[in-house]
Amino acid sequence: MPQILSEIRPAERPRERLRSLGPTALTVVELLAILLGTGTARRDVLEVAANLIASAGGSLRALARRPLGALAAVSGVGEAKAARVIAALALAQRTAAEAGEPDRTVRTPADVFRWCGPSLRDLPVEEFHLLAMDTQNRITRELLITRGILNSSLVHPREVFRAAIAEAAAGVIVLHNHPSGNPAPSADDRRVTRQLVEAGRLLDIPVYDHVIVGGDRYFSFAEAGLL
């Protein structure tokens, strides 16, 4: 049971501890309490924060996967506070993704996973992305092509190659996520990959790979010899 904020000496309250010690000294509950700002007449903000992280099994990654409505439904949170939490978690994900940005050269499928894995692995729905590549195998642009509902996302070659042509790509890598956490390709994944490879040949914009992200793992069509 978290300590009640009113019983904590001012110097030991989360915001004061953040000011004096920095964020690394704070617990997850304390950091969430600062984001939430206030509790309710019946629940202290620390208790609300503890209930919020508990609703995701104590995992920030699981919390980041939950939709706004689910966070807002936690007693004492509501839509405005849930939006602040989601925004903060999204910023954290983008910060992590930026750590790998200096070198945009793709040498192996693992490079693709390092580039896109942090932003794709915890999404609650499928997203299909395009990496536009230059002649030196460097990523020039990452584009969202489609976003699915639940665990399905449909993509058509014209959507992919319209974007590739607009970006003057020398070649492309396509990728999407499996919210289930299992990166194994489905029959639809294989069919779409064949269509994209054939369309790329006709347009002289080769598809270098199709990478599927599932949790902390990935599947590469090129690595598996399926292109």
Q: What is the pLDDT of residues 81-136, one digit of tens each?
A: 999 999 999 888 877 766 555 567 899 999 999 888 888 988 888 999 999 999 99
pLDDT by position in tens, the chain (length 227) = 445 555 555 546 788 888 887 887 788 898 999 999 888 888 888 999 999 999 999 888 889 888 999 999 999 999 999 999 999 998 888 777 665 555 678 999 999 998 888 889 888 889 999 999 999 999 988 899 998 855 556 688 999 999 999 989 999 999 999 999 999 999 999 999 999 999 999 999 999 999 999 999 999 999 999 99
- The CB-side HSE value for 149 (13 A sphere, CA atoms) comes to 0
The neighbour count for residue 140, using CB atoms within 10 Å, is: 14
Locate the domains of the chain by residue range: 5-97, 102-220
Place of tokens 């999204």: 90
Third-level CATH fold of 102-220: Cytidine Deaminase; domain 2 (3.40.140)
